[in-house]
Structure formats: structure tokens, C-alpha cells
């Protein structure tokens, strides 16, 4: 996922001083592009913080400028992207696509399983819910857990179950359900956010940098 602001700027150049040298024009455009790029990054990060539940700082900071415009080059261009390691899972937040299971099934926490989440909302891990199954899977105690399908007239859902009641005979709570896919909800329109920032700020930045450039002449 990337947003690129390129050098299709003939109309902008016509609006500026006709006596402006190409070298000066490129410097002005490069600064305007890069300042606009910073605004895009800030807007995209703000949307992640607003829309996601406790995103990790490194996830928020994975949106960066991966290509800066350079005033010394005739091929101006600035690019905002998501770092490759984060793009793999942020893709579904931005697209709302169906994510197939990477292995056999996906572990999807239920409401009862959320008590095991960490500060980032994750419950899967060696020290978390999944890491404590084996010592308790054959236990009949209350709150012990097993992975599989309950016998008898259970729900038939394959997942992580918790025994409740005295001696674990009070019924079962489903903590994690295993499914073959996850249907994601589209939380953020990555491109729409960037396009709105460009629309609202780029020409303002061009005018600002143009005035600053002339004041230094």
C-alpha cells in the first residue's frame, strides 16, 4: 500500500512566476511534496490510533515516507507507504477482504476469552491462554481447559473450552473458536485519507514554499 505524489505539475508551474527558473521550481515542489507527505503520514497514523483497539506503537509508526522528493532532480516524487512487515496484516484492515487461514484454522477469541488478553488485545502466546492448555487438558478441575470439540450435545465447535462449576462439572465456556477464515471489516480507507490530505494541503504548501523562496532572493 502506497500513496505517490508525482511530478505532473505543468499546470502548477504555469500559475507561478514565468521567470522562475526550473531549478528553483524543483526546489519549491520538492519541499511542498515532502511537507505534504509528513501530513499524510500523521493523518494515516491518527486514523490507526482512532480506529484500532490499542494498536502497538510499532504498528502506528509503520506508516512512513519511503521516498522523499529531491529538488536537484527533474523527476520529482514523494511516496508514503506501510512497512512490508506491517502491510501483511494491515492489508485486511484497509481492504476488508477475507483472510484465509495460514495453517489449518484461525484462532478467534470469544467474549469469554478476552479476560486473558494482554494490553494489546492478544490472547495467543506461550504465556497466555494457548500456552496453558496442555497442563490442564486432562484435568477435571474448574477453570481447567482443553482444546477440541466437547462430547455429547455440545456446540460442535472446535476450539479452546473452559470447565466451570464445582469440580469442573458446571458446563463449558468457549474461549477460542477455530475457523477456516476471518472476514475482516474495512476500518480505514488508506488511499482516501491520503488523497484528502493532498487535496487540502498540497497547493497551500506550494504557495507557502513559493513565497518563502522569493523572500530569500
194 pLDDT more than 90: yes
Question: Using a CB cutoff of 8 Å and minimum separation of 24, what contacts does 166-172 make?
Answer: 166/142, 167/140, 167/141, 167/142, 168/139, 168/140, 168/141, 168/142, 168/143, 168/144, 169/140, 170/142
DSSP state of 180: S
Q: How many residues does the chain have?
A: 217
Residue 23: other Cβ atoms inside 10 A: 11
Angle at 91 between CA 100 and CA 130, to 5 degrees: 55
Question: Using a CB cutoff of 8 Å and minimum separation of 24, what contacts does 58-67 make?
Answer: 58/86, 59/86, 59/90, 62/86, 62/87, 62/90, 65/34, 65/37, 65/38, 65/41, 66/2, 67/4
Q: How far apart are CA 123 and CA 214, in angstroms?
A: 58
- Where is average pLDDT lowest: 41-45, 174-178, 189-193, 196-200? 174-178
pLDDT of residue 36: 95
pLDDT of residue 172: 86
Which pLDDT tens digit goes with each residue over 101-122? 666 667 766 777 666 666 666 6
* Beta carbons of 51 and 187 less than 8 angstroms apart: yes
pLDDT of residue 123: 59
Which pLDDT tens digit goes with each residue over 22-73? 778 888 889 999 999 999 999 999 999 998 878 889 999 999 999 999 887 7
Residue labelled with grid coordinates 497442563: 135
Residue 170: other Cβ atoms inside 10 A: 11
Q: Is the pTM of this model over 0.85?
A: no
Radius of gyration of the chain (CA): 26
Task: Tell me the HSE value of 122 on the side-chain side, using a 13 A CA sphere.
Answer: 10
pLDDT tier at 76, thresholds 50, 70, 90: confident
pLDDT tier at 125, thresholds 50, 70, 90: low
Of 187, 192, 194, nearest to 90 (Cα)? 187
Which pLDDT tens digit goes with each residue over 139-148? 778 888 888 8
Residue 199, judged by CB atoms within 10 A of its CB (0-12, 13-18, 19+), counts as exposed
Amino acid at each position: 500500500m502506497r500513496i505517490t505524489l508525482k511530478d505532473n505539475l505543468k499546470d502548477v508551474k504555469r500559475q507561478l512566476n514565468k521567470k522562475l527558473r526550473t531549478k528553483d521550481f524543483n526546489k519549491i515542489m520538492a519541499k511542498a511534496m515532502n511537507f505534504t507527505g509528513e501530513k499524510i503520514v500523521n493523518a494515516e497514523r491518527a486514523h490507526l490510533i482512532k480506529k484500532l483497539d490499542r494498536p502497538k506503537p510499532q504498528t502506528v509508526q509503520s506508516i512512513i515516507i519511503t521516498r522523499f522528493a529531491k529538488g536537484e532532480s527533474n523527476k520529482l516524487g514523494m511516496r508514503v507507504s506501510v512497512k512490508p512487515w506491517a502491510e501483511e496484516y494491515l492489508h485486511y484492515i484497509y481492504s476488508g477482504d477475507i483472510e484465509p487461514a495460514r495453517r489449518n484454522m484461525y484462532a478467534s477469541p470469544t467474549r469469554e476469552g478476552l479476560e486473558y488478553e494482554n494490553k494489546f488485545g492478544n490472547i495467543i502466546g506461550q504465556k497466555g491462554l494457548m500456552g496453558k492448555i496442555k497442563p490442564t487438558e486432562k484435568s477435571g478441575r474448574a477453570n481447567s481447559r482443553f482444546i477440541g470439540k466437547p462430547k455429547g450435545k455440545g456446540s460442535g465447535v472446535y476450539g479452546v473450552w473452559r470447565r466451570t462449576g464445582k469440580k469442573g462439572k458446571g458446563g463449558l465456556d468457549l474461549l477460542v473458536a477455530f475457523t477456516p477464515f476471518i472476514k475482516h471489516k474495512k476500518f480505514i480507507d488508506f488511499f482516501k485519507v491520503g488523497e484528502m490530505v493532498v487535496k487540502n494541503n498540497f497547493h497551500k504548501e506550494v504557495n507557502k514554499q513559493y513565497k518563502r523562496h522569493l523572500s530569500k532572493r
